[in-house]
Homo-oligomer: A and B are copies of this chain.
Amino acid sequence: MGYSNVEWLAGIKKTRQRQSVLSVLEGSSVPLSAGDICAQVRKDGEKVWLSTVYRILELFVKKGIVTKISMLNNDFAVYEMNRFEHKHYAICLSCRKVVQMDNCPMEKFIPQLEDNDFYVTGHKVEIYGYCKKCNTQG
């Protein structure tokens, strides 16, 4: 598996583990958990420890190239490349499948907040229900 050809981040050491984590994230169209990423990196033949993956993800989030998302029921967090496209997801309550949503409800929405001077910097939207498969199977 080839490494990212994105310019490497300034002032940060380019290690095998970091390149691998980045590569896995770039190759995925769905957000991944730290465990997923760790498993994938190992499957790609690279040694890495889970705690290291967490540290790398934390770094990437801080550098702004990765976004951390907390899914339904706050079981665990998932991460995805910050592709600067605004994305939200629908999650199947049965099989946990993550389905991408192509539009955003917040685009033309003005929140009516009790605190009039709340300065909004971001939002999180999540839809849940049942995917085609689970809905059909009952």
Contacts and interface: CB of A to CB of B under 8 A. Distances in A.
Interface of A: 68, 70-77, 90, 92-93, 97, 99-103, 105-106, 109, 111-132, 135-136
How many copies of this chain does the complex contain?
2
5 contacts: A70-B73, A72-B124, A123-B128, A124-B127, A124-B128
A118 B105 contact: no
A100 B125 contact: no
A50 to B, nearest CB: 17
Contacts of A102: 112-114
Nearest to A97: B115
A100 B103 CA distance: 24
Given A99-B115, A117-B131, 18 more contacts: A71-B74, A74-B77, A90-B113, A90-B118, A90-B120, A92-B118, A99-B113, A100-B113, A100-B114, A101-B113, A101-B114, A105-B106, A118-B131, A120-B128, A120-B129, A124-B127, A124-B128, A125-B126
A116 to B, nearest CB: 7
Contacts of A73: 68, 70, 77
A74 B122 CA distance: 16
